[in-house]
Structure 1
Amino acid sequence: MSGLPGLVADDLVRTLRIPEAPRLTVHEMLAPTMLRSVTSDRRHPYEFSVDPMVRDGGDVRVMLNAAAVLRKEVRRRSWHQSTVAIGASGTDPYGFFEDRYRLMPGVISTLAESQTPFALHTGSELVLRDLSLLRVVRHAVPTTVIVTVPAMDVDLCRRADPQGSSPAKRIETVRKLADAGLVPHVQIAPLLPLLTDATSQLDDLLGELADAGADRVSVSVLQLSDDGYLEWIAEEHPALLRRYRSLYGRGSFVPADYAVRLRERMKPLVQEHGLVRPSGDEPAAAVAPIEPVEDPELTLF
């Protein structure tokens, strides 16, 4: 039995290994619920999230009944059509196994049928498989697609995230979403301090995103976790290890003054590339998540 939290015998259908991802263990599950409240997280802009798949280290839980359970939940009289985030909890809904299980069309259709707005987070070009569906549902319900693009450096992205889509594929995804009328947002994530945060790098990336038709840009600076990132830094960029430890201290987030400096550098770049919303609207770029931050306005450009 897996050590995954919440994995009990009644939920588990079967456990298997899939040849295309031999280092991952797949747990096919029957989920009792799909909607999860995230209102306790002050950095989260939504009230609820849905994750058809959840990765925890080398384990991936696949919710086989995601659409069916979600349909029951959004049909309740108590449901008030709050915007639902898909994939905002760290597991890409179009990641490793969506091509195999095809859970997302059912999830998208269920939300649209119930008049529930949704914000879809992904870094995979596989989202284009469902482009026709997204084009239809955007007329029925507010639909936001957020594409994560970490940097323009192809070699660095490949070494930092070998399974991730290339920068070129992600930017082409933005372009095709924009051409389909979906006004995609882009999250520069994760921004790697000392590796991908130089002003020239950000300038190049913002230029590419503007040309591709991005409607809004936000930035999410790397949050340290127990995934071995510092070990990777020690191996790949040993000269930066001491600076990383100084920057993060004993925490998971960069300090607020880093956010302020990043905002000051990015603001003119955002304006130069035309990624500024009209006066009175929400800023076109933001830094999130960052802790500790005493004043929420520190997170905005």
Structure 2
Amino acid sequence: MRPFDDIDRLADAEVLDKVAAPLRDAVHKVLTRQDVKDALHGVWMGHPLHPVLAQLTIGSFASAGILDVSPRTRRPATALILVGLVSAVPTAAAGWADYADGHEEQQRVGVVHAAANGAMLAGYAASLAARARGRGFRGALWGWAALAVGTVGASLGGHMAYHQAMGANHAEGYPHIGPGDWTDVGPVTDLPEGEPARRIVGDVGVLVVKRGEQVHALADRCAHASAPLHEGDLVDGDGRGECVVCPWHGSVFRLDTGSVVHGPATAPQPTFRTRVRDGRLELAVTGHAGVPAS
């Protein structure tokens, strides 16, 4: 049996919803400022922030575990544990922000991931307490035990990222499978004025919005979690042009460039070039996200 089969059982364990759902609601109540949420999601980076911070935290703890092998290097190990504990604060904040906008299956694994990480941090706190009392070897034992638990937590986090695709760009494939050549999608008069519509171009769905003689087209599958963007609302993007709001988690994308205005999405939506010939709309994928389609 493969290890992730057991983790998939966690994802299917509805009993975990009794913990996962209240935690999700609590995070939403605490994170009310959109700019704070965007920062924690990593919108400013163009990819999730949590994995980057997690490297610093777990890297500090792992390095401390190596230094603890020798009594002569336990003092710098103590300093690394302090770095790990301090960095765990923003790491956890970014993780909880992502968690609150995940699917139920991701959240079920996420609460176990968080519990393992919490146990790891408690172990490192006990390690520091032992070191402060001059019991370096006991502190090292606590540190190694905490690192073992943290490794389990990190494995669950990797499962969420790679097996459950949490934080992945779900629209990345569009430039590769969308048609690069102009493709007829029907009469332009069939498009509703100023309302999201869905058209099929080759093998992919496309969000199309017509405003007078101008037509914008974006990948219909939301980059955050594959939601159908054509079911979302159109809004003004804080003075940055017309935008579409994802119907599932509220990500906001510019219609002209596909760039992210607000998360939880961090990757831009691929865009499509548009043109009208003989009254019929033609589309072609640009191959690049975040740039105007023409």
TM tier, shorter chain?
Answer: under 0.3
Higher relative contact order (CA closer than 8 Å, sequence separation 6+)? 2
- The structure where helix makes up a greater share of residues is 2
TM-score, normalising length from structure 1? Answer: 0.23
TM-score, normalising length from structure 2? Answer: 0.23
